[in-house]
Chain A
C-alpha cells in the first residue's frame, strides 16, 4: 500500500454504525462554546451519504420550529463524537433531495420494522 493510502486509512474511525439515506440518526458532535467543550446532539433524517474513505460525509435534515435545517458532517472527523441510528427508513433513492420541497405529512418516510 502506498503512503497516501496508509494515511487515509489511519484517518478513518474504527467503527461507524451501518446506516443509509432515509434512516434517522443522532449525531453527537463536539462544539467549543465559551472556551468549554461540550457534546451537541443533532437528530434527523440522513438525506445524503457521499464520498469514500476518510472524506465520507453525510447530510442530516430535520425540521426545527417549522424551519428545515440541514447539517453536513464528516463521518470520520474527530469533532463527530459518535453516530447513533434511531430509525430505519424505506426509501428508493440514494439522495433524498426531494424532501426539501415536502412539508408536514408529505415529508414522512416509511419506517422499516425489524423482522420478528
Chain B
C-alpha cells in the first residue's frame, strides 16, 4: 500500500544515483498502524483507516480509546482514511515507508501555510500598478469591473484570508525511501509548514 501519514521535516537537496542533484522535501513518515478496515457490506464503501503520531494516553477520549482497542491498536494522534490501493490490508498491520520505492509517484496532501489577510498580488498573482511616475496605484486591486454592469461580478478575486487550505500536490516523485529512519524524500516542495501532518497517497494521475 503506497499510502502513509507523516510529518514534514523540511527541505534540502540530495544526489541521486544517476548523479543529479535534486531538491527534496523530507517527510518523517510512519510507522503507521492500521486501525480499521471498512467494507462494502458493512459501511457501504471500501477503505482503510491508518493512525500516526505519538500521543499521551490521557489525551485520548474514551470513545476513541475504545475504537483503538476494538482493533488491537495503540492510540495515535492522527487517523486518516484511504480508499485506493488497499488490497490485503488488515487491522493491526504496520505500514512503513518500506512499501515505497524511488521513482514511485505520489500525491501529497497538507494544510498550506497561513498568510493572513493578503492582497491580490500575493493571493491571486495580480500584477499590481506602476511603482513610480505618479501612478498612485501600487498594490491596490484597482478596477472592480465594468461600469455598465453597475455591480461587482460574483466570484471576482479580492484580497482576503490566504492559506490554511487543504492543498494537494499531485504526481510527485519519490527520490528515496529510508526504512531505517522512516524517511520519505519527495522531489520538490509540498504544502504546509514544518512539523505539520502530511498525507502521502498513491498518485491518482500516474498509472
Binding site for B on A (CB under 8 A): 2-4, 7-8, 11, 30, 54-55, 74, 76-79
Contacts and interface: CB of A to CB of B under 8 A. Distances in A.
Given A3-B28, A3-B183, A4-B26, A76 B15 contact: yes
Interface of B: 9-15, 17, 19, 21, 26, 28, 181, 183
Nearest to A55: B13
- Of A8, A30, A77, A78, the most chain B CB neighbours within 10 A belong to A78
B7 to A, nearest CB: 10
B19 A78 contact: yes
A4 B19 CA distance: 20
Given A3-B28, A4-B26, A74-B21, A54 B15 contact: yes
Given A7-B14, A76-B15, 5 more contacts: A2-B10, A4-B10, A30-B19, A55-B21, A77-B21
A30 B15 CA distance: 14
Contacts, number: 36
Contact of B26 (A7, A74, A76): A7
B28 A77 contact: no
Contacts of B13: 54-55
A84 to B, nearest CB: 20
Contacts of A54: 13-15
B15 A4 contact: no
Contacts of A78: 15, 17, 19
Contacts of B10: 2-4
Contacts of A77: 15, 19, 21
Contact of B12 (A4, A30, A74, A79): A4
B14 A11 contact: yes
